[in-house]
Structure 1
Amino acid sequence: MKLGVKIWSDNFDSFQAIQKLNSGKLVDYAEIYVIPGTFDANKLQAIRNVPVIFHAPHTSHGFNIVGRDKSFSNAVQTIKQFADYFGEKRVIVHPGVSFDIVSTPEQNISGYKILEDAGIKLIIENMPRIGIDGKSILFGSTPSELKLLLSAVKSDLCVDIGHAICAANYYKKDPLSFIDEFLGLNPFMFHFCDGDYASVTDVHKSLGEGNFPLTKILTKLTSRKDKKELIISLETPKKGDLRGLSEDLKNIARLRGILDPAKLK
């Protein structure tokens, strides 16, 4: 298994902690959420030797895969700066958001191809059906929608477990069976946290503080038919400690405890 912790590109206080977690073999990589305009080679030197995967910004930071404005261009430029600095081209990218109507497959594919042409190795992430504003209807919440994207662009898949559960609740499907459908797409990696098992909107909680059936979910992820190495990024709350990442340390311990083979039988 490879385990990663998600940090933001402007969380400079967390860089030293991430380096220590990696050198101490508690985490294998950092997933860096790239905020446009935050590239700083001097500050990044602290984690220069830490393996990384990048996450493109959300619409809250002006980036939308179906948009074509200056914010889109600025975000792509910053992503490329990070990718070139670390020599790592893999970037997780959400499908686009169209706030009045659902974005179309064609709109998303066009945006993804721009990133692909820029040398970015895409990792497309599944979405809830309902946005965190409780109103937006999102594309990419079902395996069939993701298949349309994955067949049109060269991309791996990141399955966000919380997103899959939210979408299952929206469609009134059994969440565990819905997760099985996503596993059928041979995902490259997973996002993992706890949350509200009955909700249609995404709420990230520390492991053990929600009511997700964590052991059942992890049993599915560790017994996949494709036998791929399990790659998990924790997306649990920081609870204010960006310097020491103490909450991440707790969640790492909880995850490894659940992954104990005796508990996954």
Structure 2
Amino acid sequence: MRTALSVNVNKVAVLRNSRGGGEPDVVRAARTCLRAGAHGITVHPRPDRRHITAEDVLALAGLTAQFQVELNIEGNPFAPPRQGYPGLLALCERARPAQVTLVPDSDGQLTSDHGFDFTGDTIQLGRLVAHFKALGCRVSLFVDAGCVGLERAAAMGADRIELYTGPYAQGWAAGAPDPALAACRATAQEAQLLGLQVNAGHDLSQDNLGMFLAGVPQVQEVSIGHALISEALYEGLETTVRRYLAIIQALSA
């Protein structure tokens, strides 16, 4: 099985928004990634429009349709709409992404840093999963390695989970990745036994991706943005995407 690489282009929008105007062009950057062989594009539009905007999402929906690849939209389904942000469900109604990844982050979070808690009331989350699936979206739920209650994620109709890999990346950087890697592997195996497929993302990089994929089998997709865009500043976007693909291909042979 080949793991798919979905490139998160949020950081391109961060750079653009820091100056105003249209440069760097998010759609052009995404097109470059797809021409280099990336299997899809990920975006995480937030209500405060700090990076990817609703307008970007619709433009990228057109691009990914042209390339016949996946658009993955991440977001908090509970965040209410406001000026410039119609809400995640309404945005997906317009963009019709192949996949939506539901994330329990608050407006003020710098980045997503925890998954859903399935031990509490999940009725409303289950209703939202059904709404997104009615749009034709595959639904993935952002989870922590070692989380409790994955059977409830499966029961509410989710198709996949996305493992939050921040702790693994931190462990790798500290020279002690094994505990976090083992937790990711155990959660992935539990999910797969429940009929859920597994995605992964957050702080994955060229340095730590190979060990992760070797240690956690049958990962369907990795979404990588911050590290990939950072590395591309030195090596170029097309070259960097191809280097990630080479890591994935080496482990899929």
Q: Is TM (by shorter chain) over 0.5? A: yes
Task: Determine if contact 2:143/2:163 at 8 Å carries over to the other structure.
Answer: yes
1:21 and 2:21 equivalent?
Answer: no
Aligned to 1:123: 140
Q: Can you list the C-alpha shifts for 1:153-207, whole angstroms capped at 9, x where unaligned? A: 433212233356669x9xx9822321221221125343346xxxxxxxxxx3642
CA–CA distance in structure 1, aligned partners of residues 72 and 234 of structure 2: 19
Q: Which has the higher contact order (CA 8 A, sep 6+)?
A: 2
Q: Tell me the amino acid that sits aligned with residue 9 of structure 2.
A: I
Q: Tell me the amino acid that sits aligned with residue 45 of structure 2.
A: V
Q: Can you list the C-alpha shifts for 1:63-86, whole angstroms capped at 9, x where unaligned? A: 474xxxxx4245994434543444
1:3 and 2:5 equivalent?
Answer: yes
Alignment partner of 1:144: what SS? coil
* Aligned counterpart for 2:187 among listed residues 179, 182, 186: 182
Alignment root-mean-square deviation, CA: 4.3
Aligned to 2:151: 147
Task: Determine if contact 1:93/1:124 at 8 Å carries over to the other structure.
Answer: yes
**1:27 Cα shift?**
0.6
CA–CA distance in structure 1, aligned partners of residues 182 and 244 of structure 2: 22
1:220 and 2:215 equivalent?
Answer: yes
Aligned to 2:247: 258
Q: Tell me the amino acid that sits aligned with residue 55 of structure 1.
A: I
1:110 and 2:124 equivalent?
Answer: yes
Q: Tell me the amino acid that sits aligned with residue 252 of structure 1.
A: V
The change in CA–CA distance for 1:190 and 1:152 in structure 2 (over 3 A counts) is closer
Give the helix-richer structure, 1 or 2.
Answer: 2
Aligned to 2:163: 159
Q: Tell me the amino acid that sits aligned with residue 113 of structure 1.
A: R
1:88 and 2:97 equivalent?
Answer: yes
**Runs (5+) with no aligned partner, structure 1:** 58-62, 66-70, 128-140, 194-203
**1:30 Cα shift?**
0.3
TM-score, normalisation: structure 1: 0.60
Q: Tell me the amino acid that sits aligned with residue 212 of structure 2.
A: I
Aligned to 2:55: 40
Sequence identity percentage: 9
- Counterparts of residues 203-218 of structure 1 (less than 5 Å): 204=203, 206-208=205-207, 212=208, 214-218=209-213
Aligned to 1:72: 80
The change in CA–CA distance for 1:264 and 1:39 in structure 2 (over 3 A counts) is closer
TM-score, normalisation: structure 2: 0.62
Q: Tell me the amino acid that sits aligned with residue 160 of structure 1.
A: Y
The change in CA–CA distance for 1:112 and 1:251 in structure 2 (over 3 A counts) is farther
CA–CA distance in structure 1, aligned partners of residues 170 and 152 of structure 2: 21
The change in CA–CA distance for 1:149 and 1:259 in structure 2 (over 3 A counts) is closer
Task: Determine if contact 2:33/2:237 at 8 Å carries over to the other structure.
Answer: no
Q: Tell me the amino acid that sits aligned with residue 221 of structure 2.
A: I
Aligned to 1:234: 224
- Count the aligned residue pairs: 214
Q: Can you list the C-alpha shifts for 1:73-105, whole angstroms capped at 9, x where unaligned? A: 4599443454344432521012467xxxx9663
Task: Determine if contact 2:140/2:160 at 8 Å carries over to the other structure.
Answer: yes
CA–CA distance in structure 1, aligned partners of residues 168 and 205 of structure 2: 17
